[in-house]
Structure 1
Amino acid sequence: MNRNDYLALLDSYGNHFSISEFEVQGPGTIGRMDIGFLRSFLAWRQWHGISTLISSAWRKGDPKSHGQGLAFDVLLFDQWLVSQPSALQHWLLATTWGFNGVGLYFDWSYTNKEGNKVPAIGLHVDDWAGNGYSQRPLRWLRIDGQYYYQSLTRGDFYCKTNRQTITLDEAIRRYGP
């Protein structure tokens, strides 16, 4: 696809993004994104209607979802660069859409309109099938740099590093905005 094809694609899904917003790793990298996943992501943004800031897309040298052009890291805003929807709303928007991988990050930050760095809820969405070692769909939380993966049978989240378990409700109560 060429630049005009991407412009037409963005326009067909409500024109919520510019090409440069997808090119976090530099000019031309939108072409590294899987086109089916890109369409799904654009449809998801159009569906939920919440302002979305892309903080990561395709990444050079990443052997996982970002390197395959099958992932985005985003920040959602109900008031642009001022306030975010709840952590639960982030979770429901991503898991309802049915992304293959969804991670909710309680330890991100962003720079607001006043130039201050403020805590944020980050969201990773992907459509990667994994490389044989991870169950899919895969759901996780990151809290203070620790990854907690969801059990598909029990629903809670377990961290192998600190051997602790937490539920989504507990995580939101303790760490959510």
Structure 2
Amino acid sequence: MKTEDYTALLDSYDNHFSLAELEIQGPGTIKRMDIGFLRSFLSWRQWHGLPTMISSAWRKGDLKSHGHGMAFDVLLFDQWLESQPSALQHWLLATTWGFNGVGLYFDWSYTNKEGNKVPAIGLHVDGWTGNSRSQRPLRWLRINGQYYYQSLASGLFSCRANQQSITLDNAIMRYAP
């Protein structure tokens, strides 16, 4: 696809993003995105209606979802650069859509309109099917740099590094900004 084709694609989804926002890793990187996943992401944004900031898309050298052009890391806002919806709303919006990978990050931040760094909930969404060793759908939380992966059997999130488990509700109560 040519640049004007991507511009027309953005137009068809109500122009919620500029080409520059989608090419956060550099000019021309939108061409590295999987077009089916990109359409799904744009549809998801149109569906939920929340202002959305992209913090990462295709990444050079990433062997997983970002490197396959099938992931976005985002911040959702109910008031642009002022406040975010709840962590639970982030989770429900991403898992209801049916992304193959959803990660909720309790240790992100952003710079607000006043120039202050503010704690934030980050959200990873992807359409990657993964490698043969990873379960999909894959759901995880990142708390203080530690990854907790959800068991599809019990629903608990467990961290291999510290051997601890947590529920989504407990993580939200303890760590959400």
**TM-score between both structures, scaled by the size of structure 1:** 0.99
Question: Residue 176 of structure 1 corresponds to which residue in structure 2?
Answer: 176
Distance in 1 between residues matched to 2:60 and 2:122, nearest whole Å? 21
Q: Counterpart amino acid of 1:150? A: Q
Distance in 1 between residues matched to 2:141 and 2:134, nearest whole Å? 15
Distance in 1 between residues matched to 2:16 and 2:53, nearest whole Å? 10
Residue 3 of structure 1: CA displacement? Answer: 1.1
Distance in 2 between residues matched to 1:50 and 1:25, nearest whole Å? 23
- Is there any run of 5+ residues in structure 1 with no aligned partner, and where? none
Question: Residue 43 of structure 1 corresponds to which residue in structure 2?
Answer: 43
1:65-111 deviation line (CA, Å, top 9, x unaligned): 00000000000000000000000000000000000000000000000
Question: Residue 157 of structure 2 corresponds to which residue in structure 1?
Answer: 157
Distance in 1 between residues matched to 2:63 and 2:157, nearest whole Å? 25
Q: Counterpart amino acid of 2:17? A: F
Question: What is the RMSD computed on CA atoms of the aligned residues?
Answer: 0.5
Q: Counterpart amino acid of 1:10? A: L
Residue 68 of structure 2: SS of its match in structure 1? coil
Question: Residue 94 of structure 2 corresponds to which residue in structure 1?
Answer: 94
Distance in 2 between residues matched to 1:111 and 1:33, nearest whole Å? 27
Residue 54 of structure 1: CA displacement? Answer: 0.2
Distance in 1 between residues matched to 2:64 and 2:151, nearest whole Å? 21
Question: Residue 5 of structure 1 corresponds to which residue in structure 2?
Answer: 5
Residue 8 of structure 1: SS of its match in structure 2? helix
Question: Residue 24 of structure 1 corresponds to which residue in structure 2?
Answer: 24
Residue 67 of structure 2: SS of its match in structure 1? coil
Q: Counterpart amino acid of 1:33? A: M
Residue 103 of structure 2: SS of its match in structure 1? strand
Residue 16 of structure 1: CA displacement? Answer: 0.2
Residue 152 of structure 1: CA displacement? Answer: 0.2
Q: Aligned residues: percent identity?
A: 81
Aligned length: 177
Q: Counterpart amino acid of 1:165? A: S
User: Following superposition, which runs of at least 4 residues in structure 1 exceed 4 angstroms of deviation?
Assistant: none
1:102-157 deviation line (CA, Å, top 9, x unaligned): 00000000000000111000000001111111100000000000000000010010
Residue 31 of structure 1: SS of its match in structure 2? helix
**TM-score between both structures, scaled by the size of structure 2:** 0.99
Distance in 2 between residues matched to 1:141 and 1:25, nearest whole Å? 24
Distance in 2 between residues matched to 1:119 and 1:132, nearest whole Å? 35
* Alignment map for 1:66-145 (pairs within 5 Å): 66-145=66-145
